[in-house]
Structure 1
Amino acid sequence: MLRAEDRWAIGDTLSLHGHLFDEGHLDRLDELFTADVVYDLTDVGMKPLHGIEEVRRAAMELGVDNPVAHHVTNIVITSEEDDRVTARSKGIVVRENGRCGSATYVDTLRREDGRWRISHRIVMARRTPLNGAHIVGTNDS
């Protein structure tokens, strides 16, 4: 079972993502990701990124199309095994024009050198209320 300190550290790691990207501290991504990170953006129309340098390069290439703010919330640790955990969280992004979007992050984190870092992230955009589930006949116009 994870200690409370580990849960806090995992939450801090997931929260650090928004701070580093929003403030443009792409030189500090090694504080957030393992060297062999896989950042899977398939659901939002981009190819998976492999390694910190590829993540950094993709952010730079996206340039002004990057969100101006990333907010993470609703962190739930769904599995744990030795120095590896899986966590789900919700992400809210704010674009320069004020439009917002929601995503679910599914992260695998590994403890390396006493620190938790993301080794695999899947980003899934939320586009449909209730993920498409609804009672037939309700609000059907």
Structure 2
Amino acid sequence: MALNADDRTAVTELLSLHGHLFDAGELDRLDELFTDDVVYDVTDFGQEPLAGIAAIREATLALGAANPVAHHITNVVLTEITSGQVRALSKGLGVHTDGTCGSVTYDDTVVRGRDGWRISRRRVIARRVPLGGA
């Protein structure tokens, strides 16, 4: 069964919700974004992957004022892997308190569960050089 328009909308809105929850500090709602066993891979930033919602919440709180004040997502491309599982590629922009910005690519695996779509794996890839370094 192909990914239908309702699923595409639901997954895109899920990805968009990320910025709203983090920017508002609503870390008690991360279960609306992630599966309980989510792997949040930040190895591109020199960190170990975070396993589970509690680890994401703790790492976010530990980062404190170094967190971006605004997370924006754009350029969402969805590809069905299997029925109920989607690969979502998107671009992320983070605005810091000093006005500087950073860019990442989110490479997500999104799964449909009893509570709807949730991110089960997120790899955050830093964008550091133009044209992917080519």
Q: Structure 1 residues 41, 25: closer, same or farther in 2, change over 3 A?
A: same
Paired position in structure 1 for 2:71:
70
Paired position in structure 2 for 1:127:
128
Query: How many residues are matched?
Result: 133
TM-score by length of 2: 0.97
In 2, Cα distance between the equivalents of 1:64 and 1:46?
18
| Structure 2 unaligned residues grouped into runs of 5+ | none
The one-letter code sitting in structure 2 at the alignment partner of 1:9 is: A
Which digits, 9 at most, give the CA deviation of each residue in 1:83-128, with x for residues without a partner?
Answer: 1111100000000100001000000001011511000000000000
Paired position in structure 1 for 2:12:
11
Report if aligned partners of 2:86, 2:110 keep a CA contact under 8 Å in 1: yes
After superposition, the CA RMSD in angstroms is 0.8
Q: Does 1:95 align with 2:96?
A: yes
- Higher mean C-alpha deviation, range 112-121 or range 7-16: 112-121
TM-score by length of 1: 0.92
Question: Larger Cα Rg: Structure 1 or Structure 2?
Answer: 1
DSSP 3-state at the match of 1:63 = helix
Paired position in structure 2 for 1:34:
35
Report if aligned partners of 2:78, 2:88 keep a CA contact under 8 Å in 1: yes
DSSP 3-state at the match of 1:46 = coil
Identity, % of aligned positions: 59
Q: CA deviation at 1:27?
A: 0.2
DSSP 3-state at the match of 2:25 = coil
DSSP 3-state at the match of 1:8 = helix
Runs of 4+ residues deviating >6 angstroms: none
Which digits, 9 at most, give the CA deviation of each residue in 1:24-59, with x for residues without a partner?
Answer: 000000000000000000001221100000000100
In 1, Cα distance between the equivalents of 2:115 and 2:40?
22
Report if aligned partners of 2:3, 2:80 keep a CA contact under 8 Å in 1: no
